[in-house]
Amino acid sequence: MNILITETLDPIAADWLAQRAQVVWCKHDDPGFTDALAQAEGLIVRTYTQVNDALLDQAPKLKVVGRAGVGLDNINVPACRKRNIEVVYTPDANTQAVVEYVLGLMLDHFRPRKDLPPSASAAHFHQMRKTEVGTQLDQLTLGILGFGRIGKKLGRVAHALGMSVHACDLLPEAELRKAVNYPFEFVDHDKLYATSDIVTIHIDGRPRNRHLVNREMLAKLKPNVLLINAARGMIVDAAALADWARNHPQAHAILDVHDPEPPEVKTYPLWDLPNVRLLPHLASRTDTALLNMSWVVRDVLDVLEGGTPQFPAEKLE
């Protein structure tokens, strides 16, 4: 079995696969990629390889595509289905990592922690104690836009901290309540925006979610809101967010994801805004999450051996 890997995998999972199949490493933009793809029965990608009709037309032997990650935004699943190519992924691999990350961002914002300079005088020490005063999270309402795996777990943590939790999702309220054991208020978009001190986004990359964060949506937010996007860059209209940030200096936005990635140095409108924090897509970057995502190799091998994968694309929430 010939399996082509185009991006990084954890060495543990990569070695496991190499003991069981013929593995070829080749980046999607490498000159030898076309030749390697033509021989591949399995293909493993992460974020930056676009599995579309153009790629699939060059892969006559391909039987399975594995995405070492949570979403399938860069994989044209219908195009794969049309060619009888299975698609597998790792839907729960980074839930804990993202929840911890978003919680850390909230604490960074509301409970900033400045180091005491070595040369600080007694007056400086006492001045810092007077000025570095934060806000407790249990005084705030957290609005979770997208109540899937990550949203539900984040809500559980927020509730444990004493926060009020508002949730908005495509799924019916009754179905969501069956999946959690803590109180939350199920609200529509407008109420979520109007009532939340923090709005954190955890929706998928379906086309209709593109620029969901637009001028109309931003106008509905509280004037001092904290907006967090650790989901997908395409959700945010960057130009609209830039204008909103300039016009609402008491509001803040933290973006871990961007469109495109990396953001353009000269044209991305969100650089150098004092109330917008930009981060380099770090939410899922823990050793454990990266290993969990890399174990997509198991499902890829199962498909090639005629078995049933644990996480086929049909199980997308």
Percentage helix, strand, coil for the chain under 3-state DSSP, each rounded to 5:
40, 15, 45
The reply to whether 137 and 273 lie within a common domain is: yes
CATH number at residue 252: 3.40.50.720
Low-confidence ranges of the chain (pLDDT < 70): 315-317
Catalytic residues: 232, 261, 281
The reply to whether 111 and 198 lie within a common domain is: yes
Residue given tokens 């037309």 in the structure block: 57
Listed in order, strand segments (DSSP E) in 97-214 are 141-145, 164-168, 185-186, 198-201
Contact 166, 188 (CB under 8 A): no
Amino acid 206: pLDDT: 87
The reply to whether 162 and 257 lie within a common domain is: yes
Domain count, the chain: 2
Contact 97, 104 (CB under 8 A): no
What is the per-residue pLDDT across 100-125, written as a single tens digit (0 to 9) for each? Answer: 999 999 999 999 999 999 999 999 99
The reply to whether 115 and 233 lie within a common domain is: yes
Amino acid 174: pLDDT: 96
The reply to whether 42 and 17 lie within a common domain is: yes
Amino acid 35: pLDDT: 97
The reply to whether 229 and 129 lie within a common domain is: yes
Amino acid 315: pLDDT: 44
Domain that holds residue 268: 95-278
Amino acid 316: pLDDT: 41
